[in-house]
Amino acid sequence: MTYNGSASATERTIECPASLVFPRAKRSSKYAESGQAKHAFVRAVLAGAPLNVALAGVGPKDRATCENLQWHSLIGDLQSVRCEAAYALDPIARTARYLGTNVGRNYAQFNLGPDEIPGTIDLEGETYGGRAVVADLKSGFMDVTDAVDNGQLHFAATVRHLVTGASEVEGRIEKLRIDGSVYTESRTVYVTFDFDVFLDEMAHALEESRRARRVFFSGGTPDVSVGPWCRYCEAMEACPAYTSLARSMVADTYKLESAVGILTREQAGAAWKKAKQIETMLKRVIETIKDRARQENLPIEGTGKCVSEISFERSDLDVPAALALLREKGATPEEIAGLQHTTTVRQVREVNDPTAAPKPKRVRKLSKNAAAEPSAESIASELAADPVALDRLGVIDELFRLEENIVLNREESGQ
């Protein structure tokens, strides 16, 4: 089966089609595992699992977040909600097919066609105004590409368009905070033009990846394109850009360190870019060594030391649990806010240059209907005042009741 990437690698596939060609090393991290646990929890609850059963699969660190998840903010304005629906998109035939839910990214079982790219949509549904919606649920502190430029969301919206025939699909980036609150970080409405452009881009990327594959298997070096999309590239260890970087890394590091004081502003900016590439590569090297050290000790020559996995007790305050306890004990929002202390953080990091010319990009606007869409809050208050409407809402109705039950149980048990 030809490897065509997946929805989560959309941006990388478009920017660097050769990334589909090199040998890949699969790896996971505790952050990815935490995100998957939260997704599994949402999926289980939406599928009708009792809250305590769904929570059983969540680790202690994420438990309070899931327990306090604000369902009304996440899906309060949606109906026919489905979680973790997997599809295969064929950008050349311009078709998409539904594979199933809860397939665990195990796409190989579906006998994918040579041009099909698999992907899973975190959440899909429909507003009460009838617009198709796809959402990507993110947690953690990493910056997420805005909805208008987000490749994964674009993939999901295009699939929904092809499967349902919807001419407009709203894409949302939903951010889940550690305290269980949810907010829409960005949103956009994709229209027919966007789907066409996306399918063209993906079809072109697949063709380019095939060209790169022919070069690679005939002993050549395919062209690659380095950028932010390299961060999670599974082919980085085999990528010519990074392997040659690794070879020159030590010499470059010494050069950069001694020369930085006399560089022009532009040269110093270029040195930053190079240093960040070295940093990315080094992190990957260190993570790979750590994986090995989890299996066996690695001696460090001439030092009498070795690299090894160790464990020790550490005691941290569980902030989400502490917040939940304070609420249960009757602390008011003002009292909780009073415990928060604000300090100014100074960091040197990459930000948008206010003097740079604006980057040309596709402009997608919310359609006129978007302004008329009711907010989650207004729907929630309408539901509360209209029990007949509440009865019509199936799974959302159930979720609101679940949230209320948690509060009632706590009140009854005097917590």
| Shortest CB 134 distance to ligand SF4, Å | 25
Exactly one of 162, 169, 230, 399 binds ligand SF4 (CB under 6 A); that residue is 230
Q: Is 279 exposed, middle or buried (0-12, 13-18, 19+ CB in 10 A)?
A: exposed
| By CB under 6 A, residue 278 contacts ligand SF4 | no
Exactly one of 41, 71, 190, 242 binds ligand SF4 (CB under 6 A); that residue is 242
Q: How far apart are CA 245 and CA 250, in angstroms?
A: 9
Exactly one of 7, 14, 16, 40 binds ligand SF4 (CB under 6 A); that residue is 16
The number of residues making up the chain comes to 415
Q: What residues does 176 pair with on adjacent strands? A: 139, 182
Q: How far apart are CA 276 and CA 401, in angstroms?
A: 49
Applying CB under 6 A, the site for ligand SF4 has a residue count of 16
Which part of the chain contacts ligand SF4 (CB under 6 A), choosing from 167-175, 232-240, 316-324, 401-409?
232-240
For residue 259, CA distances in Å to 254, 265, 350 come to: 9, 12, 21
Maximum alpha-carbon separation in the chain = 77
| Shortest CB 234 distance to ligand SF4, Å | 8
Q: What residues does 125 pair with on adjacent strands? A: 133
| Shortest CB 207 distance to ligand SF4, Å | 17
| By CB under 6 A, residue 103 contacts ligand SF4 | no
| Strands annotated E in 148-181 | 168-176
With respect to ligand SF4, which residue has the nearer C-beta, 135 or 239?
239
Reported as type and span, the H/E element at residue 324 is: helix 319-328
With respect to ligand SF4, which residue has the nearer C-beta, 231 or 365?
231
| By CB under 6 A, residue 4 contacts ligand SF4 | no
- What angle (nearest 5°) sits at the alpha carbon of residue 204, between those of residues 109 and 115? 20
- What angle (nearest 5°) sits at the alpha carbon of residue 281, between those of residues 277 and 284? 145
With respect to ligand SF4, which residue has the nearer C-beta, 120 or 209?
209
x-or-dash pattern for ligand SF4, window 20-59, by CB under 6 A?
--x-------------------------------------
Q: Is 223 exposed, middle or buried (0-12, 13-18, 19+ CB in 10 A)?
A: middle
Q: What residues does 51 pair with on adjacent strands? A: none
Residue 323's identity, in one-letter code, is L
Q: How far apart are CA 320 and CA 168, in angstroms?
A: 38
| Shortest CB 28 distance to ligand SF4, Å | 18
Exactly one of 4, 5, 14, 18 binds ligand SF4 (CB under 6 A); that residue is 18
| By CB under 6 A, residue 226 contacts ligand SF4 | yes
Exactly one of 69, 176, 236, 379 binds ligand SF4 (CB under 6 A); that residue is 236
With respect to ligand SF4, which residue has the nearer C-beta, 31 or 232?
232
| Shortest CB 138 distance to ligand SF4, Å | 21
Tokens of 32: 């990815």
Q: Count other C-beta atoms under 10 Å from residue 82's C-beta.
A: 15
Which part of the chain contacts ligand SF4 (CB under 6 A), choosing from 99-107, 123-131, 230-238, 393-401?
230-238
| By CB under 6 A, residue 224 contacts ligand SF4 | yes
Q: How far apart are CA 59 and CA 50, in angstroms?
A: 17
With respect to ligand SF4, which residue has the nearer C-beta, 245 or 390?
245
Which part of the chain contacts ligand SF4 (CB under 6 A), choosing from 134-142, 238-246, 247-255, 314-322?
238-246
Burial 55-65 (b: 16+ CB within 10 A, else e): beebeeebbbb
**Where do contacts with ligand SF4 occur on this chain (CB under 6 A)?**
12, 16, 18-19, 22, 224-226, 229-230, 233, 235-236, 239, 241-242
